[in-house]
Amino acid sequence: MSRIEGLRLVAGFVFAPAIGVLVLLLGLFIHSIAAPVGDENLAFLAVFGMGAAYLAYSVAFILGLPLFIFFRIKGWLRPWQIAGGGLLVGALIALIPGTGISFGLMFCAVGLTTGAAFWLIAIFRNRALTPGSRTDAPIAARG
């Protein structure tokens, strides 16, 4: 694995949870605009976003990293497989007692989005992870 390919993998674990949380916050922000409750919405979104980011990064490294290693060993690196793995992680977190249905669905949505973002950042056309990517490269780069 070259340095760039390794950095893409690290970047996937660093940026994908943030993208998942940002998509969640964007959805909540749009919802708060459509059904305004008060001016405290932005403060709530900021606090909720910090908590969601903490949870997303913790789960990404505690559950997501071992799951990625398992998927890598099995060769399950297609976009739907990685996004499904993210959805699975979100569903596992949603099983925590006291989590309501709405929060459970949010966890699943963040997991799915995080998995898709991880695939785009870390796996898509990463020659160290996907053997088919070498055929996409120019002839001079196929070495």
Quote the pTM value: 0.84
Average pLDDT over residues 19-24: 93
Average pLDDT over residues 90-96: 92
pLDDT at 37 over 90: no
Query: Residue 100: what pLDDT?
Result: 85
Q: For the chain, give the secondary structure using H, E and C.
A: CCHHHHHHHHHHHHHHHHHHHHHHHHHHHHHHHHCCCCCCHHHHHHHHHHHHHHHHHHHHHHHHHHHHHHHHHHCCCCHHHHHHHHHHHHHHHHCCCCCCHHHHHHHHHHHHHHHHHHHHHHHCCCCCCCHHHHHCCCHHHCC
